[in-house]
Structure 1
Amino acid sequence: MPESRRHEAIADELRRAIFDGRYPVGATLPSETELAASHGASRGTVRQAVSALLAEGLIGSRQGARRVVLSTTPSQSFTELRSFAQWARSGGRAAGGLVLASAWSAAHADEAGLLQVRHGAPVLRVLRLRTLDGEPVLLERTVYAEWIGPAVEALPDDCESVTRRLHDDTGLVFVHGEHHIDAVAAGTADAAHLRLRRGSPLLRVRRTTATADGRPIETSDDRYRPGSVVFSVRNSTRTNPLVRTHA
């Protein structure tokens, strides 16, 4: 495995150990030296992995002491841009996806502003249903900028992780993300696909992502089925991450 991704694998293994109860709340993790030896990695790589868990609020740090487990709840920190599939796997869940509709059309005024294209420019609209362990939990209405649309259109309809496939196929990296969270009532399509009654409350996340140089990739309206996830804020004087967890 490339050293650049080694810290991700170590972080995932530590998460699983925490979620499985091998490191309960209040337990201390092995030292960086011990982790480096057990994983055959450098201390710098281990430090990157530990930093990811710190950002997610799973562990805490005290000067001169080992890292202490603060939470055993699977979460995604919004200080770290990760895909739905990556988040699901980190909690031991099986993520699925299925494109329900895909078509090119003209960008609306608000979409054009978010994607930094002219009003009426071609964009790819994709309606995708996401599942956890086979159960529908999320309906994504994503609008892709014209420059990346063809690569998205070429992906299989049941692609598990669009983020990972675009990276593997084109080298694209989703670096920046902006999220707006509110609640909405389920419309007819929402209710049908998420197996709910029309008017049921849904948690909505409107997100826009971009490349490292700020070039917009997509803007999306994501609607979560009630009881599927919880968004939490863990406050401290050092970090204030917003996290997504299983309900």
Structure 2
Amino acid sequence: MPSSRYLEIAEALRQAILAGEHPVGARLPSESDLAARWSASRGTVRQAVGLLAQEGLIGSRQGARRVVLRQELRHSFQQLNSFAQWAHAMGREPSSLILSRVTRPANPEEASRLGTTPGAEVLHVLRLRRLDGEPVLVERTAYTDWVAPAVRELPDDCVSIMNSIAENAGIVAHYGEHLIDAVAAGSEDARLLRVRRGSPLLRQRYLTYTASGRTIEWTDDRYRAGTVAFSVSNSAAAAPLARTAGPDMTPPPGAGSPSPGAGSPSSATGS
């Protein structure tokens, strides 16, 4: 059976949950029932429901069938996915508009995050992201000089910069490190997201790296309240989540020494 079969089953179940066919608190059909419905093996069905569990849509109790936990849009850090990939997985239609592309000297924070010297040129991109035509995210990204040429060539309505530079230039993100907090909407964010100035926004800042640890981008994403929730799965057997009073990031294997003040590694990007 094709390896993508479990993805098809997961997508069908996801859409059914988001459409309210399986309300919060309801149990999903058993694995054997789902396997019969989809003419699939129980192992394939188990992969599908496991993916939905990672996204936080469903859960289970020991020895019980899977239960629908929520119907909101959650962005899991289990995999390194772009905003567009996540949106499509949720059954939503993403769109994007690059509002500006400006080459300028890196400010001290950008230089520290990207591992370059202060004043070195970076490409700064301001982008508005939408779901089903509604503005949900303002994205401000500084790209390193070796990535900038590939980003400059993309059209303003490029849906996924991360996917496009991977396909067109072989620049593939393998690691992501994230900081998440809340900020008040400034004048520009309020105008673009159609909210009042001072409204709360969910902010995600992150670095992405290649497999060899080469830095690709430093991004500041600001989501309109109520449009997304981030999910993290952990256990007592794994390394505990880090809680810090300020920015703190550790580079991936091969990236060298951490920059001053840097957050705990996880994986999901907005590009």
TM over 0.5: same fold? Answer: yes
Which TM-score band (shorter chain)? 0.7 to 0.9
CA shift for structure 1 position 36: 9.1
RMSD: 3.4
CA shift for structure 1 position 48: 4.2
Q: Give the TM-score normalised by structure 2.
A: 0.73
Deviations 1:200-245 (A, max 9, x none): 3322211112223332211111112233334466776688999x9x
Q: Which runs of 5+ in 1 are unaligned?
A: none
Contact 1:33 1:43 in 2 (8 A): no
Distance 1:91 1:106, change over 3 A: same
Mapping of 1:66-77 within 5 angstroms?
66-77=65-76
What is the aligned partner in structure 1 of residue 142 from structure 2? 143
CA shift for structure 1 position 6: 5.2
Name the stretch that deviates more: 16-25 or 181-190: 16-25
Mapping of 1:25-44 within 5 angstroms?
25-31=25-31, 35=35, 38=38
What is the aligned partner in structure 2 of residue 57 from structure 1? 56
Question: Is residue 222 of structure 1 aligned with residue 221 of structure 2?
Answer: yes
1:103, 1:109 → 2: CA distance? 17
Q: Which amino acid aligns with 2:10?
A: A
Mapping of 1:1-247 within 5 angstroms?
3=3, 7-24=6-23, 25-31=25-31, 35=35, 38=38, 47-61=46-60, 66-231=65-230
1:6, 1:107 → 2: CA distance? 45
Deviations 1:151-198 (A, max 9, x none): 111111011222222333234433322221222222222222223333
Deviations 1:11-60 (A, max 9, x none): 333322322234443323452795498366x7766554433222222233
Contact 1:96 1:158 in 2 (8 A): yes
Contact 2:10 2:52 in 1 (8 A): yes
Larger RCO (CA within 8 A; separation ≥ 6): 2
CA shift for structure 1 position 119: 2.9
CA shift for structure 1 position 80: 2.2
SS at match of 1:57: coil
SS at match of 1:150: helix
Contact 1:10 1:39 in 2 (8 A): no
1:136, 1:39 → 2: CA distance? 40
SS at match of 1:131: strand
| More strand, by proportion | 1
CA shift for structure 1 position 127: 0.2
Name the stretch that deviates more: 81-90 or 124-133: 81-90
Q: Give the TM-score normalised by structure 1.
A: 0.79
CA shift for structure 1 position 9: 4.0
Contact 1:74 1:90 in 2 (8 A): no
2:200, 2:58 → 1: CA distance? 32
Contact 2:73 2:227 in 1 (8 A): no
SS at match of 2:183: strand
Distance 1:198 1:61, change over 3 A: closer
Distance 1:210 1:49, change over 3 A: farther
